[in-house]
Chains A and B, each alone.
Chain A
Amino acid sequence: MPKPPKKIEIFKAGLWKDNPVLRQILGICSTLAVTNLMVNTLVMNAGLIFTLTMSSLTVSLLRTYTPMRIRMMVQTLIIASYVIIVDIVIKAYLPSISEALGPYVGLIITNCIIMGRCEAFAKNNPPLASFLDGIAVAIGYAIVLMAIALVREPLGFGTLLGFRVMPDGFTPWTVMIMAPGAFFMLGLYVWIVKAFFPQPQEILKSG
């Protein structure tokens, strides 16, 4: 079994070098759907951070016992359990946000970042490293979503976290409320990151 990577390397990779949204273009569905309001984004982020870290930890804890051929079933079961728990808790304690997020909390189950981390990392690494990897990747996802919401909410609604930030005469940009607004913002960020901060393997590929 290979030695687990250093903690600092795990964080560097999750937040920047292998950022799930900007570098791997994963988890796009929820990125487009929930980033038109900062509040929704924050709740979605909290849900994903919890699900990803707990799933990675659990998959890692069970890694030596789980038979190889049924590991995907086990991973799906673990992820689904945590997501349903998050969904129930949000419904019970934050009912209005639960309605705003609609089906997207439940759809964390299908967020490929989570299963991707379980398969790529947690199933081969010890619990602590997997837990940290979960946190790092989830925060990497969360930061990108917040960066998108930070532009979409002020331009689309004239507010940020519900507080008015734009001048009174400001006409909201309808496109920023709709999913295409997120496409534009995401495309812009991906372009900036890939153009100005390319990773070694990306230079090789394009050159």
Chain B
Amino acid sequence: MKKRLFSIAYMFFITLFFTSIVSGVKVLNEERIERNQKAKLQRIILSVLQIPTNGEPSDEKVNQTFETRIKSIQVEGTTLYLGYDEEGKTILGYAFPVGGPGFWGPVFGMVAVDSEASKILGIAFYKHAETPGLGARITEDWFKDQFKGLPIFPVEEGKKIFYLKPEGTGEAPNELDAVTGATGTSRAVEGFLNNGLDRYLREIWKAVKKG
């Protein structure tokens, strides 16, 4: 009986000891982890809106640029990031999150359109679980750059704003290169990005125009 009580007391105190240490480490680093995540999101938003941040700036510098050039509003349950020019008067474009299931797990991205909602300014992906070297190549510049300047307009049922075709076979301007060897990821991106843009044009953009 005494032995059992000792075991329980032992386990209790040793658990208390180790969880306190872990909690301590967590509390000490929490702020830093949050700051990392915030800075990452800010970098992504600035990059899709094509607002230059001058090389490889520190997190503070990015935060500064973000505070002066970006405003965020809620429209139809979506966060819209408004990108302003250097004087802070004219709107350059709108960035909003897009995402959906990828091949291995959810993909989170950000897309920016110009102030007239007529073309894409840029896209980027900030969280995904795609295979490095294959699906994860959607984060490479050659893939993202194809979307710059892509015209967007409401399309009929069954049609898409853009298509991803096997590398080099696209003929129309809205037929872009898919990632070779990552058909699953390419299809997923084509799907959720088209949906996101479509929803933006049909719902969010109308709400924005109304004010």
Residues on A close to B: CB < 8 A?
36-37, 62, 65-67, 69-70, 73-74, 77-78, 81, 84-85, 88-89, 91-93, 95, 99-100, 102, 156-157, 172, 174, 177-178
Decide: B26 and A88 in contact? CB cutoff 8 A. yes
Tally the A-B contacts, defined by beta carbons under 8 Å. Answer: 65
Most buried by A among B6, B18, B127, B133: B133
Decide: B134 and A88 in contact? CB cutoff 8 A. no
Q: Enumerate 17 A-B pairs (CB-CB under 8 Å) in ascending A order.
A: A62-B14, A65-B10, A70-B10, A81-B18, A81-B19, A85-B25, A88-B25, A93-B32, A95-B40, A99-B127, A100-B132, A102-B129, A157-B133, A172-B133, A174-B181, A177-B132, A177-B133
Residues on B close to A: CB < 8 A?
3, 6-7, 10-11, 14-15, 18-19, 21-22, 25-26, 29, 32-33, 36-37, 40, 127, 129, 131-134, 181
Mostly, the A contact residues are helix
Which of A67, A77, A156, A178 interacts with B18 by CB under 8 Å? Answer: A77
- B12 nearest CB across to chain A (Å): 11
- A74 with B11: in contact, given A88-B29, A92-B33 (CB under 8 Å)? yes
Find chain A residues with CB under 8 A from B181 CB.
174
- A73 nearest CB across to chain B (Å): 6
Decide: B21 and A81 in contact? CB cutoff 8 A. yes
Find chain A residues with CB under 8 A from B29 CB.
88-89, 91-92
Find chain A residues with CB under 8 A from B32 CB.
92-93
Find chain B residues with CB under 8 A from A78 CB.
18
Q: A66's closest neighbor in chain B, by CB?
A: B10
Find chain B residues with CB under 8 A from A67 CB.
3, 6-7, 10
Decide: B11 and A70 in contact? CB cutoff 8 A. yes
- A98 nearest CB across to chain B (Å): 9
Decide: B134 and A174 in contact? CB cutoff 8 A. yes
**The 4 residue pairs across chains A and B that have the minimum distance between CB atoms:** A177-B133, A92-B29, A81-B18, A95-B36
